[in-house]
Structure formats: C-alpha cells, structure tokens
Amino acid sequence: MNFANINGVSIHYSYLNKGSDKPLIVFSNSLATDFRIWQSCVDDLVKDYSILLYDKRGHGLSGLGNSPYIIDDHINDLTALMDHLEVSNAILVGLSVGGLIVQGVYHARPDLVQALILCDTAAKIGNQDMWNDRIAIAREGGLEALVEGNMQRWFSPNFHKNQQVDLRGYEAMFTRTPLEGYIGTGMAIRDADFTDKAPSILIPTTCVVGEQDGATTPELVGATAKMIPGAKFEIIKSAGHIPCAEQPNEVIRIIREMISSL
C-alpha cells in the first residue's frame, strides 16, 4: 500500500508504472466507493499502460480531512497527487463524482490531461434538494438508510438477480464509507456545476453511461456530451451506474479505443 501527504490528507494510491513510454491512465472513483471498483479493468489494461488509482479524501483508506468539502478540494488533491508522482499528459477516467473531479482537473491544469473519459457523470449532477435530502437521511440513519436505494441505482436488475455475492460486497463498500466522507462529498457534488465550462473542453472526450443507470441517466450524460465539442457518447447495455463492475470489457474497449486514437 502507498500513501502520500496531499494537502494535509493521507491519500491512499496505487501507481503501476510501466515506464515513461507507456500512456498513463488515471482513474477517479464514484461516491462511497474506493479504487477497487476498477480492478477488472486494471487487470487487462496494466498489460499495456501505466495506471494510477487513488482513494479520494473521506473514502477507502485515505484520510478524512476537513469535511464538508467543496469540489475544488477533490480536484486539488488529484492535481497535487499527480504533481507528487511527477506525472502528466494522462488519460483521466472519472466515474460519477470522479467525472466531476477529472473535468475540474482539466479546467484547472490542462497540462495534466491528454484525454477524458467521463463515465456516468455530467457537468452537473442532481440538484440541491436531492442532495440535501440524502444528506439528512445519512445524518439520521447512517449510510445503512441509503444503501438499498443506491444499489438499485448502481446496478441493473440482472446484476441484482444473478450476482448476489458481488452485490453484498458493494453494499459493504458503501456502508463502510466514513459518514463524514460521504456527507462532505455529497455537499461537494451538490454545489459543483461545470455547465458553463463544458464547451471549453478541447481535448478528446468520450462520455459513457450504463443503459440502466438510475443515478446519472443516459439523457443526462448525453446532454453533457452535446456540450463538449466533438465528444463521443456511448451507452453500455446491461449496466447501471457502475459499468466498470457490470460490463468491464466494454469500459476496457472504450479506454483502449480512446488511447489508440490519440
């Protein structure tokens, strides 16, 4: 395990360095998950590319920091981690809030980013009332009070029916997220809005969404793709909000196609 002091927070990361001649893929995770959600993709991609994975503050094995957060806290953590490791010109792959984070990294530090893959995310996710309601439920009943609804949004009916063992694991990942990490990041998502900046993304970008995503719907993700000049838009069948878990081969294909096109 590797840790770095990033902006006063102990950030847990894994850097699989295949050499400076190999493209670098940086993964940024969704709310209430850690970087293990990418493992099926990493097992394939690490054969040909360098990989950087990390747990954002308040998640996984990373420290909590000062919660609540703003989206810039997460953005600054990733830029500082990349500077710490002396890496740049990466393909940034962000899922849900991770997609907001990598958009923000591009807007703040375009030198770090060669291309974007925005998975099940948007320029703005949800609204104030929605996030305030979820935060209130979490404060009153803990993450256990939210887990069932989130699993319905995260995974397709087929996953619920046929992958019960995996589902129990994702429930555990969700409920074991630090409460203040979830609430703090929920507030950051609530207040984040890159709608005005989306048309200024001028690097290769692919927007991806699970066909059965109940959190960031295909309509929402597609609308963001239309804001970004030249962005591609792909819908992954038989997947919900976390296609890297349900349909990793499709996510791998999209990443490999992006890198091949650069």
Q: Give how many domains the chain has, as a whole number.
A: 1
- The model's pTM: 0.98
Q: Domain range spanning residue 254?
A: 2-261
Sheet holding 50-54, edge to edge: 2-6, 9-16, 50-54, 24-28, 90-95, 113-119, 205-210, 232-236
Strand-pairing partners, residue 90, are 113
Q: What is the pLDDT of residue 189?
A: 98
Q: Are 183 and 138 in contact (CB under 8 A)?
A: yes
Residue 213 dihedral angles phi and psi, to the nearest 5°: -70, 120
Picking from 101, 84, 83, the residue whose alpha carbon sits closest to that of residue 93 is 101
At how many degrees (to 10) do helices 71-85 and 179-191 cross? 100
- Report the alpha-carbon distance of residue 218 to residue 202 in Å, rounded: 22
- Report the alpha-carbon distance of residue 11 to residue 58 in Å, rounded: 9
Picking from 182, 229, 240, 183, the residue whose alpha carbon sits closest to that of residue 205 is 229
Q: What is the pLDDT of residue 137?
A: 98
- Report the alpha-carbon distance of residue 154 to residue 151 in Å, rounded: 5
pLDDT tens digit sequence for 193-212:
999 999 999 999 999 999 99
pLDDT tens digit sequence for 17-54:
999 899 999 999 999 999 999 999 999 999 999 999 99
At 32, the amino acid letter reads A
Burial of 47 (0-12, 13-18, 19+ CB in 10 A): exposed
Q: What is the CATH number of the domain that holds 91?
A: 3.40.50.1820
pLDDT in tens, the chain (262 residues): 999 999 999 999 999 999 989 999 999 999 999 999 999 999 999 999 999 999 999 999 999 999 999 999 999 999 999 999 999 999 999 999 999 999 999 999 999 999 999 999 999 999 999 999 999 999 999 999 999 999 999 999 999 999 999 999 999 999 999 999 999 999 999 999 999 999 999 999 999 999 999 999 999 999 999 999 999 999 999 999 999 999 999 999 999 999 999 9
